[in-house]
Structure 1
């Protein structure tokens, strides 16, 4: 297969993921999926190795790439099956992220899988938004071990049980149906590609694609000076008393592989900032992928030279049933900072300063006067400055690239009013190139509610590099009272919640 044929093939299967995403967005019921685009779509080969993905959520996709082979091996697959799972210890990330996997068959032969992962604001936790300050996995909602929700293209009894366990059945059912539809469309499109090429030629093309991805990874490794690079950073807290929780990395680079050894990282904690190893893989894969050419295919071959080591029972390789809701969103962002910090010692001209370092999670809802509502979103901040550019302001960075919930949508769906939404001027670090500024989002409550905040960089600033200044820490306020980084509180009518997100670090002097 020559370079042109390979490029066309890669684009062809990647476009299937894009189409799956379009179906999922347009069919979904919740603002979290249809407006914020908190979902991801991918294609895998018959063994569960990544073939293609859309440019969706890095923490979703990297973790799926890492865990999918184990999922495939666990299940007796049949045509017409659809599998659902969210168990972080069996291939998921955290409970709100529900993954649906569908095998694709041609003439009785399995030729691949299509999958999508979408964030459900209601996954059955007691706390609205299903992002509680929990100490145990079961407190975070419904745990779905790999379960067939469809068999032979027919809805299973298990699927009905899952839907009935959720608080917002209509919205949840709509989002699940959108995920099913996205996979069905992806399976149709993938089958048409395989039928057009023939199964043998399709599999040979995947081999060529992985070999090409591997060559690009080798070129990157030859560009990075051989050595062992050390870096560590800390999480602010776990919300339950533990502070300055260390993530430590020794990154070994040689001409043929990467070894990311996280020995020395703090043991798992009581709060929910723990995470499974699949989230670590997502962070490491992401940083190396950012250093590769734009046309690098998103396939297994790109990542197979990366080895990850983390002690079982540590913060980043937690033991079930440790709570993990914030690990996927907050610890993942700190892992990216740590990998960037290590690599910046080797190729400082190619890595930026720390970005705002938090997804600034806001979960809220209530049941009043017979009306139940449930809302979740992440809020952007400042991007770190780089050698050739100022950091962008008011954006999501690294492990998520979701959009904000538009004010019109938020106020239409929920008893909320957005009083202020603006760039937080001056929050980015100074330097030869500046860090981007964060955001201020202030929300007034029109009905009583319960809110949970899971945020970071409220005590430790996003660092600069090569003499650049750090960005400002974030702040959380309820009326005139400053809130902790991770907190769960009740609010009354007329109360105002203000989230001031961190800026990015500056680069150089």
Structure 2
């Protein structure tokens, strides 16, 4: 391939990224659920006819993108590419064939040019409700957690599968939003297919296979080059989750070789009887993301750039849940995996690794009305979830980020958006002072949130919070971030996981964790300490005690 051809391939590659980003943005603009349009809890990508991901949208979460990368192969196993027709759309929320729990819908759509199939578009979105017990850890099997959709056609040659939509509407507390989201997912795939065909026409491409080969060869060789720069050996890490019945320990032994990185999870806690279990694809998704952030952050994310990262997940481990184990809130354990990977990599490349952060999202699913209070209900029925996060861990040369979701990457939802669609009021949503782990670079600050129902009515929360008993750890002598706290505005505590009713006249009070610090706090620039004190983020007492200022 000459230089001009390489330049043209690179331009086409960039165009693919633009195509899938438009695909994602259309989903955000047309989605019904606040989880998609406000938080961006989604993924979008283009695949070749072998089910290999060529490019992903910038908008989206690693848990969705990297597990969706595996899911397209499952669609092709049931519906081979040769059997697909224009206007077909395929859907599932199977946690073991999709992205890890029933609240995520994955849609796959073929793209056709001149009557021939040329590629596949896929997307995933987190929807508010799929029935069952709702978003929470209380289920004892996946069958209690909601409507279970196998891989089926939701549209056939442009016609909706009305039987499918009848089941969907009857199986959800929010049928309008759920049906609307499915139409949105199909529409954004159609838009991606249209843009792909326009690109192929412009460049006179009969197939995307030559471009796919270029993308995969370049991505793989670049990733292997970065792996070869790392010191070889086996590095071990441990991290703890609060768990449900008891504390959960995640262990990893990461072996860096010349041409791959292998992670063995032997010693990790066994399966839970509640919905905090993690399907293997979701484990691979977040573990690969954590490794890639450190080892090859500049290399585009696709099938080939992730291929050198291999996971060995023992059977019976909480990170390898089989059917029909409950998995509804797999994120509270799975989103700790990047911190675990960085704990291993800190021993190999300490100058490239962050301290631990709050990591697992704090997403309070809220419910009210007759489904909570029966005949005494003072509010109409509602079901809503709001996305929030504590602080991220300190970086080697920069402070952590305040109230920012890492590793999930979703946006914090504006309180106004939630108040607009549900009868709830956010009385507080502010930075939590003194929550950041001290260090040469400090962690990010957590938040304080106070939530009540309108008229101080009774409502319920399906708690799914972590990092309360196990605070985010600092590195290289940095302090731990503040642990989380869950309770009521009267100062009483409630359980960190599980369905609980907030009594009439009371409000839910959440104190989100802060990120861990990096390095000796007394080496921190005094001007930065003074700035944090002046901003009310660090108290004078903590400045004196931790920073010597």
Is TM (by shorter chain) over 0.5? yes
Answering whether residue 156 of structure 2 is matched by residue 151 of structure 1, we say yes
The RMSD of aligned alpha carbons is 1.7
Q: Among 335, 350, 353, which residue is 2:352 paired with?
A: 350
Aligned to 1:465: 475
Tell me whether 143-152 or 487-496 shows the greater mean CA deviation: 487-496
Give the 5 Å matches for 1:3-22: 3-22=6-25
Q: Give 1:198 deviation, angstroms.
A: 4.5
Which segments of 5 or more consecutive residues in structure 1 lack a partner in the other structure? none
Tell me if the contact between 1:78 and 1:152 (Cα under 8 Å) persists in the aligned partners: no
Q: Which residue of 1 aligns with 2:316?
A: 313
More displaced 10-residue stretch of structure 1: 186-195 or 267-276: 186-195
| 2:294 corresponds to 1:286 | no
Kept after mapping to 1: 8 A contact 2:46/2:121: yes
CA contact (8 A) 2:466 2:496 kept: yes
Give the match for residue 499 of structure 2. 488
1:71–1:91 CA contact under 8 A, matched in 2: no
Q: Which residue number in structure 2 is paired with residue 124 of structure 1?
A: 131
Does the aligned pair in 1 maintain the 2:23–2:188 contact within 8 Å? yes
5 Å-filtered alignment, 1:196-235, equals: 196-200=202-206, 202-235=208-241
Query: Is the partner of 1:336 in helix, strand or coil?
Result: helix
Q: Determine helix, strand or coil for the equivalent of 2:208.
A: helix
Separation in 2, partners of 1:87, 1:25: 23
Q: Which residue of 2 aligns with 1:100?
A: 107
- Give the conservation status (yes or no) of the 8 Å contact 2:110–2:117: yes
Q: For 1:371, what is the secondary structure of its paired residue?
A: coil
**Aligned-partner SS, 2:225:** helix
- Whether the 8 Å CA contact 2:223–2:296 is kept in 1: the answer is no
Structure holding more strand per residue: 1
Q: Which has the larger radius of gyration?
A: 2
1:431-483 C-alpha deviation (Å, 9 max, x unpaired): 11111111111112223322111011100111111111111110011232112
Q: Which residue of 1 aligns with 2:57?
A: 54
**What per-residue deviation string (whole Å, max 9, x for no partner) do you get for residues 76-122 of structure 1?**
44112111111112233111111111112234433211111111111
| Mapped contact 1:66–1:281 kept (Cα < 8 A) | no
Question: TM-score by structure 2 length?
Answer: 0.88
User: SS of 1:360's equivalent?
Assistant: coil
- Between the two structures, name the one with larger relative contact order (CA 8 Å, sep ≥ 6): 1
Say how many residue pairs are matched: 502
The 5 Å alignment of 1:154-193 reads 154-156=159-161, 157-193=163-199
Residue 18 of structure 1: how far off its partner (Å) = 1.1
- Does 2:88 match 1:81? yes
The answer to whether the 8 A contact 2:72-2:108 is kept is: no
Per-residue CA distance 1:217-243 (angstroms, 9 max, x = gap): 1121012111111111121122xx2x2
Label 1:390 to 1:11 Cα distance change in 2 as closer, same or farther (>3 A).
same
Report deviation, 1:49: 0.5
Separation in 1 of the partners of 2:468 and 2:196? 45
* Structure 2: runs of 5 or more not aligned: 371-376, 521-549
Alignment counterpart, residue 69 of structure 1, candidates 69, 73, 76: 73
- TM-score, normalised to structure 1, is 0.95
Does the residue aligned with 1:133 lie in a helix, a strand or coil?
A: coil
1:115 is matched with which residue: 109, 114, 122?
A: 122
Deviation at 1:164, TM superposition (A): 2.6
Are 1:111 and 1:199, in contact at CA under 8 Å, matched by a contact in 2?
no
